[in-house]
Amino acid sequence: MMSGENSVDSKCSLSGLAPLEAVLFDVDGTLCDSDPLHYYAFREMLQEIGFNGGVPITEDFFVQHIAGNHNEDIASFLFPDDHPRGVKFLEDKEAMYRRLAKEQVQPINGLYKLMKWIEDRGLKRAAVTNAPRLNAELMISLLGLSDFFEAVILGSDCARAKPFPDPYLKALEVLNVSKDHTVVFEDSVSGIKAGVAAGLPVVGLTTRNPDHLLMKAKPTFLIKDYEDPKLWAALEELDRKAGAATGST
């Protein structure tokens, strides 16, 4: 049994996945810290139309009711009596977001280190997101990851978007991999619930959403970003177990 600094807290273990076959990533808040831009766009545009009596929405409101959700559901929530207006509002909001994103999107700390780890092991990978296609493709392109992902699965392409498992189940099907050898990275309650409902272990990122909220969705464990020692201890353990299984040293 391992001991000392290199040992992995049993609560933070991914070793049951060995040998790892695939890695699935959400986009907003998981590849890049984009939630502040979404929040800004929602706050400005909702205030402009007099939502909530013209009082700006709070970040807590954004986290509770908007972050990670599919636009159809957001439209229904914000405009329960006029869904078509809600859909049009969301289209305009996404256009504003894309203008902001072109200037301000930054990768999550350690992202490219993890991408290299994945590439070095020849793992399959897909982006799985509730974002509209234009947003998802723009984010992935701005981050220089267009050639990294083998597939981009959208909530709108499935019968049900996150928090239902359908997008993650579709990703497994498209990549032709087993849920028993695939890990998910997510940053929202909605996304974690979707991965867990699909029977996948989910590593949650505390990019913007509070730990206590994310833990309610039952992730395998939480990390601050992709430099988090907890993540790398878990990945090293995965490598050791995979090596032992193949008889390598």
Distances in Å between the alpha carbon of 102 and those of 71, 99, 133, 141, 143?
21, 6, 16, 10, 10
The span from the CA of 27 to the CA of 138, in Å, is: 11
Alpha helices in 200-246 (DSSP H): 211-215, 229-246
Active site residues: 26, 28
Judge if the upstream peptide bond of residue 229 is cis by omega within 30 degrees of 0: no
* Chain length of the chain: 249
Distance CA 103, CA 60 (A): 25
* H/E element, 186: strand 182-186
Please tell me the distance from the alpha carbon of residue 84 to that of residue 221, in angstroms, as a whole number: 39
Q: By C-alpha distance, which of 106, 88, 90 is closest to 36?
A: 106
